[in-house]
Chain A
Amino acid sequence: MDRAGLKDKKRETQKEKAPLRRLPDAELEIMKELWAAGEPLTRAALEQRLTRRQWSSTTLLALLARLEEKGYVAREKQGRGYLYTAVLTREEYLPVESRSALGRMFGGSAKNLVAAMAETNTLTDAEIDELADFLEQLRREGR
């Protein structure tokens, strides 16, 4: 079975399982690396990409095992080790985040969240145009 075939099979397996759940930070971090790589990664490669987290090998293996159990990650034997593949794409996962407490609180929109806490000065297009004219004037005067 080629790699694409393996991914499809695993995805089907995942869909048969429980509905998608929001991932804890550490597991999400691993998923992000797998998504960013765009290809299956060995444990050593993942470890290298996650150096910043300073996880031990056993921690990483435990997290990968959990992800595999949840159906987010599939592994394939390669030589003496395994290749890890993200079963779920990022686009498929993001709605899960929006359903989280945080997402529900702000309607799943970062814009709403920012609007709730930010300085609320928003420039209109007309103001921006006016400022562009003013900037042009400054440039002319500067010269």
Chain B
Amino acid sequence: MQTLFLTFAVEGALLGLLGLVLIALSGPLRRRYGSRWLSRVWLVLALAAAVPLRLVLPDVPAPVQLAPPALLLETVTGEDQTEKDLPQDEEINLPQTPIQITAEPEEPQARPAAPQPGIPEEKNAARPALLDLLAVCWMTGFFVLMLWQWGSYLLWRRWALRSALQPPAAWCTALKEACTAQPGAQPPRLLASRAVRGILMMGFFAPVLLVPEGMQPGPDAPCLLAHELAHLRRRDLFRKALFVAMRALYWYNPAFWLMTSRAAQELESACDEAALTVLGPERRDEYAAALLRAARQGQTPLMTSGFSMTGRQLRARLARLFDTRPKRRGRMVSALLCAAAVSVCGLVACGGPAVSEPDAGSTVSDAVSDAAATPAPSPAPSLAGEAEVWPGVYLAYYLNDTGEIGTFSDPPVEMIGNFAGYASPDGQYAGLVNQDEADGTRLTLWNTADGGESWTPTELDCSGWLAQMAEKYDWAGRSAGEEGQAKMIPNHYQFVNPKIGYLVMYGQYRYGIPYARDTLEGDLMILQTTDGGANWQVKYTGDGSDMAQVGDRVGVHSCRPFFFLNEKTGYLCYHGPAETGEHFLLLRTTDGGAGWERVDLTAVEERLPEEMGLPLHVCGAWGLEFEPARALMDLDRPGSMVLSTKNVVTGYRGFLYTHDFGESWQWIERD
């Protein structure tokens, strides 16, 4: 509802502005093009305002609500000492032979806290609440107004029809003559009712012409009947209903009250033009006099053809009747104004959240889908990157049921172990990183560029980093001198194209008796290469507590918590401390892994079924290896990603997915 409210609010503001401009220009426009032309323009405007284009347009990209990444902000703030000392972007070289990494990462605690995304925490929480409140007020106002207007109309209609009788034969004759004068006019049902004081038309699909009970058709009858039949021919009652709905929809917007009032007046004038076309200009005086006499009937019900105007409005209407200047057709101006209205809607549609249906070809069941986030307070950085990337990859090439590694048969036996890996969609490129069981300080990067025909190992000596971690976290002291082993555990190894790749690993110290070992955690490290693995840059090292600002270290022990889309953008399914109430978060980097920020999933969460529970638990990433997830990807374009979601209590599962590098998100239930 919040999304709908925002959509209509923005659309209403822009179209209201356009309507006010139209009101300001209506005098000259009417003189030049006539009331019928202006009435059509009002209709287009009302139709544009009635449709929340932002929501009905399919797959409109919506920016994720995030502030600029931490690293960018830090760079802007200047070069303070702490920043200079940070280890990220530090070049290390990985030759084809084992090397010793000598880089000495600084204390991760020295890293300044990343600025909070967008707005302060309190405001972040208050904004949705306020928006919810406003949305509820708006919706309540809409329903109350609609209920009142339609309810009173239906009551009056019932009252009028129950008391109606067949009219005198003279009225039937007058109507027949009036219909004869208007080619193609279908005579409506004619009734005499005590509920009306003048002639008026009502009913949308079965129109009824009501005449006052006990009244015989006077000399004004031909003019008034021509007017009512013109209303019928022009389907003006539908237009009036649309204007009434507009007023209810934008009840809080004074511009729309003014616009609908002007549109209703223009509609009457347009009907006058149409009626005079039938009657002939020579009866203009007679028609105007009939209108003036009809105006004495006073109030008329809404959504009928009756009109109720102020003296000033009726004066203007009479003046328009006598404006005999030739009118232009105004097609070009119509087209321009319609284009303006459509552009306004288009701008709104492209400016924020959208809702689209789940992919038709999906193998998972249809459920809720939604794009992410309300309009961002600041422009989201470009997420697509510049490098050409694969449209998805296979992830985590672990042992399959037949004992093979992924689809690659007969892999080097040394590759099997504790590892992470990837493969390109065509299987030509693949990589695994595994840990030497005997010497936990060494990792081996296995790469192939020929579909697994040959594998090249590259050793990565992590002993230096582990020594740093041992000192930083006091592994020796905390293990009370018990013998243990420091290990670097690979968590994620993925290339997005043959050149750009990521390696994520974390340090750990295990001690105590075998099979019942205790574990002390070290740091998480994110490395990036842009030259196919020849050189690696440390993009991040630390315990992850600064990533989501929840005050505790990040947990990356679940399967595939990372997924990278290109040289800049990547996502992390963050598992933080449960006691903070922010256990499950989705984080995003836009600088290759150095800075991380939360992704606002509020818009998606609003549309989730109750069983899913909140906040949305984003568990991990699925690559092409998982068929249901693969079905959600669009392999014709890069930037597809699928994350699994699950409520650990109810077991309810789903997928969170994107086709545009995470610009917009959708959610679908998983069978």
Contact = CB atoms under 8 A, between A and B. Distances in A.
Interface stretch (A2-10, A59-67, A68-76, A126-134): A126-134
B159 interface: yes
B143 interface: no
A116 B148 CA distance: 10
B300 A118 contact: yes
Interface of chain A: mostly helix, strand, loop or mixed:
helix
B653 interface: no
A122 B298 CA distance: 5
B284 A128 contact: no
B295 A119 contact: no
B308 A118 contact: yes
A137 to B, nearest CB: 10
A122 B309 CA distance: 7
Contacts of B635: none
A123 B163 contact: no
A115 interface: yes
A142 B298 contact: no
Interface residues of A, number: 37
B126 interface: no
Contact of A120 (B159, B163, B308): B308
A30 B295 CA distance: 35
A142 B324 contact: yes
Interface string B303-341: 000001111011100110110100000000000000000
B248 to A, nearest CB: 14
Contacts of B289: 135
Contact of B301 (A52, A97, A114, A134): A114
Interface in A86-143: 90, 94, 97, 102, 105-106, 110-111, 113-124, 127-128, 130-132, 134-135, 138-139, 141-142
B285 A25 contact: no
B272 to A, nearest CB: 13
Given A36-B166, A119-B299, A110 B155 contact: no
Contacts, number: 106
Given A28-B162, A36-B166, A134 B318 contact: yes
Given A94-B163, A114-B299, A116-B152, A123 B314 contact: yes
Nearest to B306: A118
A134 to B, nearest CB: 6
Contacts of B295: 123, 128, 131
Contacts of B302: 117-119
B398 interface: no
A90 to B, nearest CB: 8
A82 interface: no
Contacts of A123: 295-296, 298, 309-311, 314
B234 interface: no
Interface of A: 25, 28, 32, 35-36, 52, 90, 94, 97, 102, 105-106, 110-111, 113-124, 127-128, 130-132, 134-135, 138-139, 141-142
Given A25-B162, A110-B194, A122-B308, 10 more contacts: A94-B163, A102-B155, A102-B158, A117-B152, A117-B155, A117-B302, A120-B308, A134-B319, A138-B288, A142-B285
7 contacts: A36-B166, A102-B155, A110-B160, A119-B308, A121-B308, A138-B288, A142-B324
